[in-house]
């Protein structure tokens, strides 16, 4: 079974979602810029959204019982959550930039005990 020759199905979407998730996790772990970390978080959330939609689609799994619109509704909820997270995180980054003249996350050591 070769994924390149068979019709597009759930496995293709799961691979794309996994690649997005791992890329986002690597971005969060390696970036020193706060905006790069935020982009990594968005990639992780979008990778999960691709998987939710793939599992919820009746067109990708012919003959299987579909979850209905559950996958799409969860993905929509995650998109709303990501928008709220981005707004709050950007406000925090702007406040951090006003205080430190940089968005380097290594300079955020004021709360160390």
Q: Yes or no: say if 96 and 34 are a contact pair by the CB < 8 Å rule.
A: yes
Q: Is residue 26 part of a domain?
A: yes
- pTM metric for this prediction: 0.78
* Structural domains in the chain (count): 1
State the chain's mean pLDDT as an integer. 84
Q: Find the CATH number of the domain harbouring 21.
A: 1.10.287.3510
Q: What is the pLDDT of residues 66-105, one digit of tens each?
A: 666 778 888 899 999 999 988 998 898 888 888 888 888 7
What is the C-alpha separation between 50 and 16, in angstroms, rounded? 8
Residues 6+ apart with CB under 8 A from 49: 17, 75, 78, 79
Q: Which residues contact 112 (CB under 8 A, 6 or more apart)?
A: none
* 16/106: higher pLDDT: 16
Q: State mean pLDDT over 48-74.
A: 76
Asked, for residue 97, whether it belongs to a domain, the answer is: yes
Say yes or no to pLDDT of 113 above 60.
Answer: no
Residue 111 lies in a domain: no
- d(CA 64, CA 54) in angstroms, rounded, equals 13
């Amino acid at each position: 079974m070769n994924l390149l020759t068979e019709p597009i199905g759930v496995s293709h979407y799961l691979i794309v979602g996994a690649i997005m998730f791992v890329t986002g996790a690597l971005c969060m772990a390696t970036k020193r810029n706060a905006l790069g970390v935020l982009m990594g978080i968005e990639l992780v959330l979008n990778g999960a959204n691709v998987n939710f939609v793939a599992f919820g689609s009746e067109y990708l799994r012919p003959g299987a019982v579909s979850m209905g619109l559950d996958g799409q509704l969860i993905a929509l909820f995650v998109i709303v959550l990501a928008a709220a997270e981005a707004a709050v995180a950007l406000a925090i980054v702007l406040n951090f930039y006003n205080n430190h003249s940089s968005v380097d996350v290594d300079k955020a050591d004021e709360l160390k005990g």
